[in-house]
Structure 1
Amino acid sequence: MMQEALPLKMEENNSGTLYVPVDLFKQYVERVQFPKAISFGTKTIQCEVAPHPDQKNEYMISKNLWEALMIPHEGLIHLLQKEDTVFIGPLVGIFTAGFTQFNLRPIGERSLFFAKLLSVEKKVGAFYFVFGAHQIDWGNGTVNGYFYTADGWKQIKVPIPNVVYDRLPNRKVENLEFSKQVKERLQTEYDIPWFNPGFFNKWDIHQMLINDVKASKHLPKSYFQPEFTDIQNLLETYKQVYIKPANGSLGLGIQQLIQKKDEPFVYCRFRNNEENRLRRYSSLKRLVRRQFPFGLEDMIAQQGINLLKWNNNPIDFRIHTNKDEHGRWCLSAIAAKIAGTGSITTHVKSGGEVKTVKEILHDIGANPAIIKKLHETALMLSERIDHHMPGFIGEIGFDIGVDQSEHVWMFEANSKPGRTIFSHPKLKGDDLQSRRLPLEYAIFLFKQSVEKQPELVNANEHFLQL
């Protein structure tokens, strides 16, 4: 049973009491069953229950309970009940790395992003903080986490959280032993739901979906660690080929090969030293030898698509999908990205431009029904990836294209999507939605984990007595 989100306040007494709204207390009286313990994060303590003294629709906790549970501040919370224990919160930790010694910017350049992410707790109802591996005190079962308050960043000691949202910054940090150990211990020793684990590998996703009936028709023809003949066949068939790192991100390392009609030359478009470059070669063999001197290990060669264009520049679409408070996939954000002149990708750093989908489709006179097609495809792909992949996935960022025949193609799926599209003034609502949904999904996971909880009250070793 989960109650609606209500304010949580501290009562200046040491009675060891949880005060609940009168209506909820009446339910306890009718059932002649009163909670005997309260749980916050991974701490559980005995308590008494009483009706709110002022009959307000809020929760209050006596000071000694508050301090023993290590509640960081007053706020909006959810309350769940399982057997004789009430669970309040949830306490949700965002796991990351790259902390600094500066209180104003404790996570360096990403501090503003995390501050915006944490700000949704007041709207959703939870306690939300950021932490790294070195802030966990395993002996005491606590975390010295960073909370973003009205006075800026503050480090506050709290119990180990109910749910962890993985926001590690890159694959290098993710593969470090200490990152793996934290995840392993929290999941095995504390049975904590950990969502968005791991960066996606492009080829793993491709292989996962290629035999999926619904998803496979949206995948461009691709080869991993391609032979020369694979590239040659793709170029002859499609007149353009993209070659990119299987573990790449931000458009780095992508090269486009172009074979123009009735020309003996082969062109290569790429980015070097923050400049868009175009080179012409007399043969494909020379191009491959020069452009890929270290070979094509861990590279993917992919069929080029004749995309919808704006002023002769290709367009693709960034679509964010998230799971909601019911654990269902929904579309949280969508934007069109236009490639910069001479650029191989639509990334803003390569001269790309962001527009709303309605704007772009209107400008190029395209069928507005494409929007519905994009929505449906992104949700279907989210469900199929989720179906095939282990662990909890809470969000995906897709790079999707539409060709001249209005067929939808998936180029990439990212487990930790970038947020450059949200600089567009008309995408502020999407920005808020895409920040709010991860916390709503964390509440769903909190509810699931509570329902799986064993009976705590009779297991004295699991909780403290004041």
Structure 2
Amino acid sequence: MPSKKLKVQIMSPNLLENDDIVLGEQLIRQWKIPANYPLQLAFGSFRQTIRVVPLARFDGIRISQELAQKMGLLPRSILRLTFRPHSTTLQLGPLVGVLISRDIPSSPERPFGPITLFCRELVNACQHQGVYVYFFTPSHIGSNSSTLSAWVYGDGWKQIQVPAADVFYNRLTSRKLENKPSVQHFLKEVKSRYGSHYFNEKFLDKTEVFDALGNDAAVAKYLPESHHFKSFLSLKTMCAKYPIVFLKPVRGSLGKGIIRISKMEGGNYQTLTAKVGGTQRQVYPSLAKLFSSLSGKMKTTRYQIQQGLTLIEINRRPVDFRALVQKNRTGKWNVTSIVARTAGSQHFVSNLARGGSLSTVKEAISRSSLPAGVKAKIPLRLRKAALEIAEGVDGRIPAHFGELGIDLALDSSGRIWLLEVNSKPSKNDNTPIGAGKIRPSVKQVVEYSRYLSGF
């Protein structure tokens, strides 16, 4: 059954019965909706028996103030409507809930801190497509899974009671919050009770990703040699095979704590560690001494040991690529964007949080020393690699993902390598846009939510 985008008019008390909703005669005839007959109204987890009242030359939907309050609907909302004849249900929506890490109620202009602009952009994208969106944190979750307190945007941000959503989008930035029993219980409940969908449901760790993809013939060619770092033997073996080796925190992000190990002339070993202010350099007379210095860190941090790569450079700074891969209106993976990231002057990692800079793929490739014949095919090859890796993660890791940040690298011969897969890609990695505009990455989240909810 198709869905139709309608403006919602909330009627003043006494102008409409609480259990009546008004629809245009033409739509009622076209969809064969029984008028003046008990039907079920659905909006997320909300259910109520209602009666449809026809109105000539009308192209919206009218509901009572009391019903709107129960549903958590704001005046002048634009929603999609569909009719499910087999269950005689009129369904309004889709209703999308975005789970975020924190809110600041004392700051109504910026209640979500640095991601407030992204949330506002998501509201605009939802309004444009007839989707209703709210934002909530783990602390908003109560004992009843059918309703929760959440933020919505009307004439400014406000908190109201809303039903459980058709689709939940996980933007939590902390594993600790994600693993809270209250969060896990709530999400299990809404999936089993109301058939809610929940995407980007978990963080990924590097060992999990590389182990899973190593069994996938289509993507194994992109993987540098990589193992869970457990012993001196694994360090000795990898350093004997490769001139440069990386230790990456299995659960790290933003390049924090990455250690680059290289052998120097004379038999010494050098480590470069990514720190907030720059790079910390240390030299060790032997690999055993180096391992000994790591043993303290290994008690609190799990590492992945990985083959070092000779990346392409611009002005002697390494370059890598961040692909944002998202599921689209038909549920298929699609490359939304790829940007090049050049490391900052005091860093060997390219994250923007570490002073890296963005450029287009074309610009970065043109400034690199790759042969001209190789350069022309790179953009297409990067897109193909990103898609294959996303499909590999989706097929081999038992969790629901709707978007992935995939970090790729090119070595000096033009070969593509996978560096990392991130299930919570930062929205700040995109180029800033003008007020009121909606980025393709935000539009895609809304379209995938519509796909999941059947609208």
Question: Does the CA-based 8 Å contact 1:219-1:409 persist in structure 2?
Answer: yes
> Residue 323 in 1 paired to residue 327 in 2?
yes
Among 400, 415, 421, which residue is 1:407 paired with?
415
Read off the aligned partner of 1:211 and give its amino acid letter. Answer: N
With over 3 angstroms needed to count, the CA separation of the structure-2 counterparts of 1:7 and 1:358, relative to structure 1, is farther
Read off the aligned partner of 1:373 and give its amino acid letter. Answer: R
- How many aligned positions are there? 443
What is the alpha-carbon root mean square deviation over aligned residues?
Answer: 2.7
1:8 corresponds in structure 2 to: 8
2:231 corresponds in structure 1 to: 227
The alpha-carbon deviation at position 205 of structure 1 amounts to 1.0
> Residue 334 in 1 paired to residue 338 in 2?
yes
Q: Percent of pairs identical after alignment? A: 27
Gapped runs of 5+ residues in structure 2? none
With over 3 angstroms needed to count, the CA separation of the structure-2 counterparts of 1:325 and 1:76, relative to structure 1, is farther
Distance 2:140 2:339 in 1: 37
Question: Does the CA-based 8 Å contact 1:334-1:357 persist in structure 2?
Answer: yes
Among 378, 381, 385, which residue is 2:389 paired with?
381
Distance 1:73 1:329 in 2: 35
Among 167, 189, 193, which residue is 2:193 paired with?
189
The alpha-carbon deviation at position 156 of structure 1 amounts to 1.8
Report matched runs for 1:31-430 at 5 Å: 36-56=39-59, 58-82=60-84, 83=86, 84-104=88-108, 105-139=110-144, 141-149=146-154, 151-260=155-264, 263-272=266-275, 274-295=277-298, 298-364=302-368, 366=370, 367-423=375-431
Distance 2:38 2:381 in 1: 50
Distance 2:432 2:32 in 1: 53
Distance 1:358 1:425 in 2: 20
Any idea what the Cα deviations from partners look like across 1:11-44, whole Å, max 9, x if unmatched? 4531444344554322244999988222112112
- SS of equivalent residue, structure 2 residue 80: strand
1:454 corresponds in structure 2 to: none
Question: Does the CA-based 8 Å contact 1:322-1:329 persist in structure 2?
Answer: yes
Could you tell me the TM-score, scaled by structure 2's length? 0.89
Question: Does the CA-based 8 Å contact 1:255-1:344 persist in structure 2?
Answer: no
Any idea what the Cα deviations from partners look like across 1:71-129, whole Å, max 9, x if unmatched? 23322222222221011111111123323341424334443443333332122221101
Between 277-286 and 317-326, the greater mean CA deviation after superposition: 277-286
Question: Does the CA-based 8 Å contact 1:45-1:69 persist in structure 2?
Answer: no
Read off the aligned partner of 1:380 and give its amino acid letter. Answer: E
Distance 1:143 1:202 in 2: 34
Distance 1:249 1:343 in 2: 15
- SS of equivalent residue, structure 1 residue 119: helix
Any idea what the Cα deviations from partners look like across 1:226-275, whole Å, max 9, x if unmatched? 42232223223221000011111111110001225x55332211134522
Distance 1:115 1:78 in 2: 20
Report matched runs for 1:428-447 at 5 Å: 432-447=439-454
Between 386-395 and 417-426, the greater mean CA deviation after superposition: 417-426
With over 3 angstroms needed to count, the CA separation of the structure-2 counterparts of 1:239 and 1:115, relative to structure 1, is same
- SS of equivalent residue, structure 2 residue 245: strand
The alpha-carbon deviation at position 355 of structure 1 amounts to 0.9
- SS of equivalent residue, structure 1 residue 377: helix
Read off the aligned partner of 1:161 and give its amino acid letter. Answer: A
Distance 1:178 1:27 in 2: 44
- SS of equivalent residue, structure 2 residue 430: helix
Question: Does the CA-based 8 Å contact 2:35-2:52 persist in structure 1?
Answer: no
Distance 2:186 2:331 in 1: 25
Read off the aligned partner of 1:169 and give its amino acid letter. Answer: T
Read off the aligned partner of 1:127 and give its amino acid letter. Answer: Y
Question: Does the CA-based 8 Å contact 2:166-2:195 persist in structure 1?
Answer: no
- SS of equivalent residue, structure 1 residue 120: helix
Between 20-29 and 434-443, the greater mean CA deviation after superposition: 20-29
Question: Does the CA-based 8 Å contact 2:279-2:346 persist in structure 1?
Answer: yes
Distance 1:284 1:6 in 2: 68
Between 343-352 and 250-259, the greater mean CA deviation after superposition: 343-352
Distance 2:252 2:321 in 1: 18
Could you tell me the TM-score, scaled by structure 1's length? 0.87
Question: Does the CA-based 8 Å contact 2:34-2:52 persist in structure 1?
Answer: no
- SS of equivalent residue, structure 1 residue 300: strand
Between 299-308 and 72-81, the greater mean CA deviation after superposition: 72-81
Question: Does the CA-based 8 Å contact 2:4-2:82 persist in structure 1?
Answer: no
